[in-house]
Amino acid sequence: MNEINELFNDFDTNTLCVSDFNIVVRGTRVDNIVKTDSGSIQIWAGNPLTDKNAEELVLSPLEKKDVFDQIIDNM
């Protein structure tokens, strides 16, 4: 998880677009990961800042780890 936090710091943003990585969980593509003001990381289909139809993906810890690993591998 530290590596994901480093990405937010490296890019100086709280929203990272990962659509191009084609990460799919339970048939849904992961488009954005968002670091909230409280420091938690949310995984989204769509962009929660610009897309009124975006949906947060509620994943198990194992699914979340897999998504984070794929993001790190693609960065």
Q: Where are the domains of the chain?
A: 2-74
Residue 1 has pLDDT above 80, yes or no: no
Per-residue model confidence (pLDDT) at position 2? 83
Per-residue pLDDT tens over the stretch 25-68: 999 999 999 999 998 999 999 999 999 999 999 999 999 999 99
pTM for this entry:
0.88
DSSP per-residue letters across the chain: -HHHHHHHHHHT-SEEE-GGG--EETTEE--EEEE-TTS-EEEEES-TTT-TT-EEE---HHHHHHHHHHHHHH-
Residue 71 has pLDDT above 90, yes or no: yes
Per-residue model confidence (pLDDT) at position 75? 82
